[in-house]
Amino acid sequence: MSQDTPTRSLRCLLAAALLAMTTTSGTSTAADAWPVKPIRIIVPTSAGGITDVVTRIFSPALSEQLGQPLIIDNRPGGDNVIGTALAARAAPDGYTLLSVFDNFPLNQLLRGDIPYDARRDFAPISLLITGTQVVLVPALSPVQDFPALIATLRAKGNSANYATAGIGSSSHLGVELLKQAAGITPLAIHMKGGAPAMGELMAARVDMMMIGLGGIAANQIVAGRVRPLAFAGVRRHPDFPQLPTIGEFYPGFATGSWMGLVAPAGTPAEIVQKVHAGIAVALRDADVRQKLGAQKFDIVGSNPEEFGRWITTEHDKWARVIKTQGISAE
């Protein structure tokens, strides 16, 4: 019996090694063959919103690179939680992807019933675009420049207000960051999206708003229905070089909007890299670049590691603001 024990142990070790090699080989083969069927991209917002629009701009070019149709699946609701939770529960096989934007790592900081963790339950693929935010007032407002706006808001105190696209949106947290920097106290008027928030601004029912320049904001500026006063980026916007940045008055101030693509955690790294490689080519496509440029977005196309660091940085930055300002969606 004592002579059989080493032999039995050796056989067990060889069997375990063979099983590990077989499993690894099977996983690699599946990743090599991927994709063999259509791929779903969940968009956790309604059709027609910026996240949906950007997804539909790049998806044809990405589909061409991957050799399979991309199906856009809009799952709005619950401040984007419904669609995001659906993606978190999906099989990590590369056939479900998720378009995310600036509130992606923040919802779990604002409410306690989020059934996922943005950093733990998803595999970053690429930061696709970023967008600068612009400070707007109604066209009929007597305020003509950014210093005058701050003076007006400071004088009005809690009777001043501003419109947001929803709790935890960049249009909300950007102003909360400005409140910290400038010592002002306007109250947030939360709307269900950027379009109704812009409607409140144009009707002069709110004093100001900070929103991404892309899409509706640029259109209303051109139409003269709102007045831009400053940008929240690190440098002046090339289309509005006469307007200052907020950082020129409050050094270090910078905020903006962004959008990226993730997969459920556990998706094989080879598949994540395939999608990233396809995205990199798609974002160089002339038609894609023209359409994103028309929306006033800056094209990024980061790698998965860079996007993962970006998500963590955004989480940590806004966690401090949310805690200090006592912000909650509950």
pLDDT in tens, 205-228: 999 999 989 768 888 999 999 999
Q: What is the pTM of this model?
A: 0.82
Residues 132-248: name the CATH superfamily.
Periplasmic binding protein-like II (3.40.190.10)
Backbone phi, psi, residue 253, to 5°: -70, 125
Could you tell me what percent of the chain has a pLDDT over 70? 90
Hey, which residues does 101 pair with through a beta bridge? 259
One fold for 37-131+257-325 and 132-248:
yes
Is the Cβ–Cβ distance between 146 and 282 less than 8 Å? no
Nearest one of 187, 176, 174 to 325, comparing CA atoms: 176
Stronger pLDDT, 3 or 41, i.e. the higher one:
41
Mean pLDDT, rounded, for 290-295: 91
Mean pLDDT, rounded, for 280-307: 95
pLDDT in tens, 48-62: 778 898 999 999 999
The sign of the CA dihedral 92, 93, 95, 101 is positive
Question: What residues have CB less than 8 Å from 236, skipping those under 6 apart?
Answer: 243, 244, 245
pLDDT in tens, 94-119: 999 999 998 899 988 988 889 999 99
Architecture of the CATH domain 37-131+257-325: 3-Layer(aba) Sandwich (3.40)
In angstroms, rounded to a whole number, what is the distance separating the alpha carbons of residues 41 and 58?
A: 12
Mean pLDDT, rounded, for 130-140: 95
Task: Please give the torsion angle defined by the CA atoms of residues 46, 51, 53 and 54, in that order, rounded to the nearest 10 degrees.
Answer: -160
What are the residue boundaries of the structural domains of the chain, listed by start? 37-131+257-325, 132-248
